[in-house]
Structure 1
Amino acid sequence: MEKLQAALARAREKREGGSPSRPAQGQAHTRVKSRQLQRSEALSSVWQGVPAAEPSTRRMQQSRIFAASASAEAASFDILRTKLLLEMRRNDWTRIAVTSATAGSGKTTMACNLIAGLGRQPEVRGMLFDMDFRRPSVAKFFGLSPNSNFADFLEEKVSFEDQALRLDQNTIVCGQSRPVRDPAQLVTRARTAEALDEIQAEYMPDIMLFDLPPVLVSDEARAFLKLMDAAIIVAAAEQSTVSQIDECEREVAGYTNVAGIVLNKCRHLSEGYGYSY
């Protein structure tokens, strides 16, 4: 919050120092627009403080991250992104968990495509956090090599900027390059909830995505869901069973809202599906 306040002060000084006096009529409206511009400039300054990264295009293709650019392959992810943003605005949500019943459903691929797609929506600021501390893979999917890990930040070993990487002007990824020995202990600490509140207050993202471990195979997912506004459940076609999905949905609903269930790995689509309808 201190950095945001300092950025606001710098933006205010910059505008007041170079702005000519305005007529009395419409001054209130002008002041409102000026404050909004200062706020936007201050936020941009804070986000620019996060080191920029250059994701590996080849690695993203291998990881099936297609949403970074408009294409037929990105169409499904674009639809999901838009529907999710509309639902979030309707319910005033910010924190969205992406999880699944069991491993191998493609939840990380889904989360990475969502944040990549948000990079093409410059008016929306988004963050992706790798909270699958047993099997972290977000940084690997993008081909990134962060200097530190998100767990290091939660343990107060490094600052937020030391471990975060900015993919675009409006998207940030907090990755994890190694497993955490006791993820449940880390997730349930009071400091973890406080740290997320501080990030949200300082960076004011429109959407915070969290790649969580599968619900039915880990206890830390349940502990973390209570800090979320809603969750997306990813199911794999011909892999996830109806009973697994039902059980996962009941578990998630016990801690937060269920934003929806996404069917992944579906190979039997009609020929007309996509941009050409």
Structure 2
Amino acid sequence: MGQAQMKDGNTRGSRRRLAPEARTEMLDRIAALEAPATQPDATTPQPDPATRALRAAVLGEGEVRLPQLHDLWGNLRRIPVNEALLEANLVITASRRDPAHAAFDLLRTRLLQALDEHGWKRVAITSPTRGCGKTFTAANLAVALSRYENRRTVLLDLDLRAPGLAQVLGTPAPGPIAEWLRGGTSTGTQLQRVGQNPLGIGGLAVGLNDHAETYPAELLQDPKAAAVLDQLQEELSPDAVLFDLPPALNHDDVTAFRDRYDCVLMVVGSGRNSADQVREAVRRIGEDKPIIGMILNRAEEERASGTG
């Protein structure tokens, strides 16, 4: 990322000049934004600072520094990869020795196709009830996604009542993720990036949690949390953001958070969830939120994963 480059015109000193046609177009846009009145009064809207800065840059009025966009991805703190621990915690897409990793590769491909087709980026991963393996699914899918070159994946533990991703990944959380959602800590402090490793796990950043939140639904619905997530999008430019959310039927957290995600992956426990439970979970999420996948988790995986 970086500043957009303007058309090259004549250079005077160290300042670039816009080409005449581009300069005319931008001045017209600025004039429309400013909409000056012949006799401005208190009710007349004044141009905002960004418009004034743009006008000054186009007209060459003084030394103006346009805002710079900073990509935080390369500056995130790196975390090591423990292959033995990941394998013990059934992150089967890490070493890829378990043939079941192929199912996650297929899920990854279908998910990316859906995201690209609709312009989506934010994916909620939930289940009807606990014990269905949603955290197991979220971790494996995130690792599978990270192997695509030039793609960035962010995985956030937003199961605020029972955080479990830090344990599955074997990485301590830098602090409560609730503080980040409230704007108390920065993205660069809360999120960590998987470091270089022999397993080929690449573009993956994780937001982990080490503290259960007392009022999670209220926090997930707070406009401040929405602003923090929007800021993450600007700072890291992820291609996919996976939210490991609580079960849909246990509380109202998933419903409270529904305006923050584009689509849903539903993890259903084989032999654990009834058809009525699945239908009710989908109903609570709402018909306008596409369910882009129903993942049937095998009973042996549920018991082994021990979370979600």
**Structure with greater helix percent:** 1
Counterpart selection for 1:119 from 146, 170, 174: 146
- Structure 2 length normalisation: TM-score? 0.70
The aligned residue for residue 103 of structure 2 is 76
Q: Aligned-pair distance for 1:266?
A: 5.7
Q: Aligned-pair distance for 1:248?
A: 1.0
2:179–2:185 CA contact under 8 A, matched in 1:
yes
Structure 1: unaligned runs, 5 residues or longer: 10-41, 268-277
The aligned residue for residue 161 of structure 2 is 134
**1:238 maps to amino acid:** G
1:54-69 matched pairs, under 5 angstroms: 54-69=80-95
1:149–1:174 CA contact under 8 A, matched in 2:
no
Q: In structure 2, what is the Cα distance between the partners aligned to 1:219 and 1:120? A: 34
Coordinate RMSD, CA, aligned: 1.9
**2:92 maps to amino acid:** F
SS at match of 1:127: strand
1:217 aligns with 2:258: no
1:235–1:262 CA contact under 8 A, matched in 2:
yes
1:140–1:177 CA contact under 8 A, matched in 2:
no
SS at match of 2:166: helix
The aligned residue for residue 20 of structure 1 is none
After superposing the two structures, state which structure 1 stretch, 214-223 or 142-151, moved more: 142-151
1:234–1:264 CA contact under 8 A, matched in 2:
yes
Q: Aligned-pair distance for 1:154?
A: 1.1
Q: In structure 2, what is the Cα distance between the partners aligned to 1:266 and 1:219? A: 26
1:189 aligns with 2:222: yes
1:235–1:263 CA contact under 8 A, matched in 2:
yes
Q: Aligned-pair distance for 1:255?
A: 5.4
| Cα 1:135/1:255, change in 2 over 3 Å | farther
SS at match of 2:92: coil
SS at match of 1:194: helix
- Structure 1 length normalisation: TM-score? 0.78
SS at match of 2:104: helix
The aligned residue for residue 31 of structure 1 is none
Q: In structure 2, what is the Cα distance between the partners aligned to 1:138 and 1:122? A: 24
Structure 2: unaligned runs, 5 residues or longer: 5-68, 196-201, 301-308
Q: In structure 2, what is the Cα distance between the partners aligned to 1:239 and 1:117? A: 26
Q: In structure 2, what is the Cα distance between the partners aligned to 1:49 and 1:165? A: 9
**1:214 maps to amino acid:** P
The aligned residue for residue 189 of structure 2 is 162
- Percent of counterpart pairs with the same letter? 30
1:30-85: CA deviation from partner (whole Å, max 9, x where unpaired): xxxxxxxxxxxx88x52111101013323222221111244423111111111111
Larger radius of gyration: 2
**2:120 maps to amino acid:** W
Q: Aligned-pair distance for 1:237?
A: 0.8
Q: In structure 1, what is the Cα distance between the partners aligned to 2:173 and 2:133? A: 23
Counterpart selection for 2:179 from 117, 128, 152: 152
Segments of 4+ moved more than 3 angstroms:
none
Aligned residue pair count: 229
